[in-house]
């Protein structure tokens, strides 16, 4: 019988003694408590007795009259004895065992004959390389077709052929709009402050503190405003898109749309894309202003420039093309974030962990693409001289 583990420590650990009866039968006398939590005799002690030789018995039997308790510890011992008997072709008489132990012993024996399915073997590096290459080919095709589908949906929108749910659209607008303001405010203000600090230390040595305004203004408006909002939105909204669409994929909601011949791209991707295209320039403009404010705080507080002077200097430095450039970039980044999030979500696997991976890869894809596209913009601007 099994016993409560709390009482085990106070009981005698199991003991084993051997009795050779009539020269033919070896009886294993089990006494005490055979619990795996205690120190137990090992089956190795019996091995020499069972192994072939002059004294090899014909039969192994058990005497459990002094057994006070047992659990899996006894079973693992018995299984080993059984294996030894099979190896040495000695008969095993289990009638002396507790009936419950006997039952479990035969359960373990019948079940262990279940066929083992083949485990996937690890492949060579060339196999993996080839497979990755093929996969890259497939994912290029699938991304291109996703892009094409999105473009067609966009065109259909202008021909007035698409209606998506207004309520959903406004919920998304808010999610990517005013709900993003706190974090955009914090990050842009800090970026402005940091830029001003770095610039101030250098410019002070030349007595050219006033140019901190130029530095912060141009850097924020041309580059940092768009990049920082892009990265924030990739982490915040892109990941949310991927997680949401991925979860819909897991729940077969996307399949449900498809079987009703509602295109998931038109119904899910398009509103998300539009929302980001609308909201990103606004957020970027807001980030520019807060960045300049952050620079102003350093300029006024640390460098003793008057607020009016700082503002005038900024206005003089930041030409209008800079502002347009930043805003155009932010639209491009918005498209990147929306496409990366939606694509990863729609193509995610159908498990909870796959949704997590989709969200992660959406963010990584979006950030890499944002930085790369920003680099392209820099080269282009250099060529056309903005």
Partner 1 sequence: MSQSPAEPHIQVRDLSLAFDRELILTNLNFEIKQGDIFIIMGGSGSGKSTLMKALIGLKEPRTGTILYQGLDFWQSESWKRERLLRRVGVLYQGGALWSSMTLAENVALPLEQFYSLARTRVPELVSLKLSLVGLAGFEEYYPAEISGGMRKRAGLARAIALDPDILFFDEPSAGLDPVSAKHLDDLILEIKKGLGTTIVVVSHELASIFAIGTNSVFLDAESKTVLASGNPEEMLHTTKEPKVQAFLTRGGTIED
Nearer to partner 1, 45 or 109 (CB): 109
How long, in residues, is the chain? 386
> If you search the block for the tokens 């141009």, which residue do you land on?
218
Closest separation between CB of residue 74 and partner 1, Å? 10
In the complex, the smallest distance separating the C-beta of residue 133 from partner 1, rounded to whole angstroms, is 25
Which residue from 338, 381, 161 is spatially nearest to 244, judged by alpha carbons? 338
Q: Nearer to partner 1 by C-beta: 95 or 112?
A: 112
Q: How far is the CB of 46 from partner 1 (least distance, A)?
A: 15
Separation between Cα atoms, residue 72 and residue 228, nearest integer Å: 60
Question: Cα–Cα distance between 112 and 176 in angstroms, integer?
Answer: 57
In the chain the beta strands, taken as DSSP E runs, fall at: 15-21, 25-34, 59-70, 91-92
Is 117 or 384 the residue whose CB approaches partner 1 more closely?
Answer: 117
Is the Cβ of residue 22 or residue 113 nearer to partner 1 in the bound state? 113
Judged by the rule CB under 8 A, the positions of this chain that interact with partner 1 are 1-7, 36-37, 71-73, 75-76, 79-80, 100-101, 103-104, 107-109, 111-112, 114, 116-117, 119-120, 353
Rounded to a whole number of angstroms, the minimum distance from the CB of residue 9 to partner 1 is: 11
Distance in Å, CB of 73 to partner 1, minimum: 8
Q: Nearer Cβ to partner 1, position 5 or 161?
A: 5
Instruction: Tell me how far apart the alpha carbons of residues 177 and 108 are, in angstroms, rounded to a whole number.
Output: 62
Smallest gap, in angstroms, from Cβ of residue 6 to partner 1?
7
C-beta separation of 288 from 221 below 8 A: yes
Q: What whole-number distance in Å separates Cα of residue 329 and Cα of residue 318?
A: 16
- Three-state SS at 68: strand
Among 183, 189, 230, residue whose Cα is nearest residue 327:
230
Smaller CB distance to partner 1: residue 104 or 331?
104
What is the rounded distance in angstroms from the CA atom of residue 150 to the CA atom of residue 139?
A: 16
CB closer to partner 1, 5 vs 55: 5
Largest CA distance in the chain: 114
């Amino acid at each position: 019988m099994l016993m409560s583990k709390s009482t085990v420590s106070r009981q005698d650990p199991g003991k084993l003694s051997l009795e050779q009866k009539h020269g033919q039968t070896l009886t294993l006398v089990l006494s005490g408590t055979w619990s795996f939590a205690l120190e137990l005799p090992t089956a190795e002690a019996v091995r020499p007795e069972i192994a072939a030789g002059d004294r090899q018995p014909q039969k192994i039997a058990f005497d459990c009259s002094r057994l006070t308790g047992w659990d899996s510890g006894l079973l693992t011992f018995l299984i080993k004895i059984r294996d030894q008997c099979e190896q040495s072709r000695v008969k095993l008489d289990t009638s002396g065992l507790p009936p419950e132990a006997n039952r479990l012993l035969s359960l373990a024996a019948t079940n262990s004959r279940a066929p083992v399915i083949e485990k996937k073997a690890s492949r060579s590096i060339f196999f993996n390389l080839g497979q990755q290459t093929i996969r890259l080919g497939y994912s290029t095709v699938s991304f291109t077709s996703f892009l094409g589908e999105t473009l067609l949906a966009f065109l259909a929108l202008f021909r007035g052929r698409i209606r998506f749910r207004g309520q959903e659209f406004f919920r998304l607008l808010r999610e990517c709009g005013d709900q993003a303001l706190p974090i955009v405010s914090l990050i842009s203000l800090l970026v402005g402050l940091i830029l001003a600090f770095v610039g101030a230390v250098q410019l002070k040595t030349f007595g050219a503190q006033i140019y901190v305004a130029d530095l912060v203004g141009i850097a924020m408006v041309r580059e940092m405003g768009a990049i920082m909002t892009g990265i924030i939105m990739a982490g915040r909204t892109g990941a949310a898109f991927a997680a949401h669409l991925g979860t819909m994929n897991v729940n077969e909601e996307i399949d449900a749309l498809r079987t009703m011949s509602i295109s998931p791209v038109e119904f899910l991707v398009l509103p998300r894309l539009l929302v980001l295209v609308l909201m990103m320039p606004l957020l970027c403009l807001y980030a520019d202003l807060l960045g300049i404010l952050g620079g102003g705080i350093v300029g006024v507080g640390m460098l003793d420039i008057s607020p009016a002077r700082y503002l005038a200097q900024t206005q003089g430095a930041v030409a209008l093309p800079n502002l347009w450039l930043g805003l155009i970039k932010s639209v491009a980044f918005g498209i990147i974030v929306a496409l990366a999030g939606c694509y990863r979500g729609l193509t995610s696997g159908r498990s909870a962990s796959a949704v997590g991976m989709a969200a992660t890869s959406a963010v990584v894809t979006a950030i890499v693409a944002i930085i790369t596209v920003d680099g392209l913009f820099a080269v282009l601007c250099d060529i056309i001289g903005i």
